[in-house]
Amino acid sequence: MSVRHFTDLSAVSAGDLRIMLDDAVARKTRLKAGERSKPLDGKVLAMIFDKPSTRTRVSFDVGMRQLGGETIMLTGTEMQLGRSETIADTAKVLSRYVDAIMIRTTSHDRLLELTENATVPVINGLTDDTHPCQLMADIMTYEEHRGPVAGKTFAWTGDGNNVLHSLLEASARFRFSLNVAVPEGSEPFEKYVDWSKANGGKVRFSRSAEEAVDQADCVVTDSWVSMGQEHRARGHNVFLPYQVNAELMAKAKSDALFMHCLPAHRGEEVTDEVIDGPHSVVFDEAENRLHAQKAVLAWCLGA
């Protein structure tokens, strides 16, 4: 069997993504019931972080331990990678030691180069372009609260960033509609929009957050400036019309969910009353990173 990488939702079939989500739900249920099976006993996951992280780092670490495995935490700057050893050579060396590699890095090309040269599974823990693990947790969270996501309408308002790119891929893979409102100059990369549309995604763009959110089942946003994208910062006034506040949230369906991958910048992309309010499921999303990623690890490692 070829190596199973988890680089992007577009790189994994809809069927396999559904298998992982079902497995994540089952693993969560079993964990809450006190079951402690160790299918990854003796396996080691190397985690490379070129950017900061709280959720991704802790949930992969705890998830791997719960499955009986271990992790090695590496930061790019402490490795020879930070002294110009190539990604390709690093991939070949790590593949001789560990059973899987998770990487959070800058350019998507670094992830792809690692994947092309590794002989063990590589998992994308966020790049400048995408954040597929986040979307697995988000779809799991939506379905936990509201049932099947297919046929529902999500609205994204704010910056057209890596989380939106994975949401675009998710909309095609999981068959929900996606309304996007971003200011001029903050549009998502066309290749993600094109891929989504070519694969059955129903994507609609608007400059108006009100229009995008109108009658949505789920409202999603993220920080206005992503890590390492500070040079793209547009200023608060540009983004303020895209802030998720109570007034905007009221345009969505009355039982709409509010999602944010966290960390949140309260008072910027979302107000306290929304993120701490009755529509918000942000901490369920954070928890489900653990369960969804355990399913991703199990899928990659055949456990």
DSSP line for 82-113: GGT--HHHHHHHHHHH-SEEEEE-SSHHHHHH
Contact between 222 and ligand NVA (CB under 6 A)? Answer: yes
Among residues 27, 222, 291, 300, the one annotated as catalytic is: 222
Contact between 127 and ligand NVA (CB under 6 A)? Answer: no
Contact between 261 and ligand NVA (CB under 6 A)? Answer: yes
Toward ligand CP, which CB reaches closer, 126 or 249?
126
Contact letters (x/-) for ligand NVA, 56-95, by CB under 6 A?
----------------------------------------
Contact between 135 and ligand NVA (CB under 6 A)? Answer: no
User: Among ligand NVA, ligand CP, none, what binds residue 162 when CB lies within 5 to 8 Å by partner kind?
Assistant: ligand NVA
Would you say 134 is a known binding-site residue?
yes
The candidate with the shortest Cα–Cα distance to 279, out of 303, 302, 245, is 245
Tell me which residues in 3-62 interact with ligand NVA (CB under 6 A). none
Q: Is 183 left (phi over 0), alpha (psi -120 to 50) or beta?
A: beta
According to CB under 6 A, which one of 56, 105, 226, 288 is a site residue for ligand CP? Answer: 56
Contact letters (x/-) for ligand CP, 231-270, by CB under 6 A?
------------------------------xxx-------
Among residues 159, 289, 291, 300, the one annotated as catalytic is: 289
CA dihedral angle for residue 112, residue 116, residue 119, residue 122, rounded to 10 degrees: 10
249-255 long-range Cβ contacts below 8 angstroms, 24+ apart: 249/213, 249/219, 249/274, 249/277, 249/279, 251/210, 251/213, 251/214, 251/215, 251/216, 252/155, 252/213, 252/214, 252/215, 252/216, 252/217, 252/218, 252/219, 252/279, 253/215, 253/216, 253/217, 255/146, 255/217
Binding interface with ligand NVA (CB under 6 A) = 126, 161-163, 222-223, 226-227, 261
Catalytic positions are: 104, 131, 134, 222, 261, 289
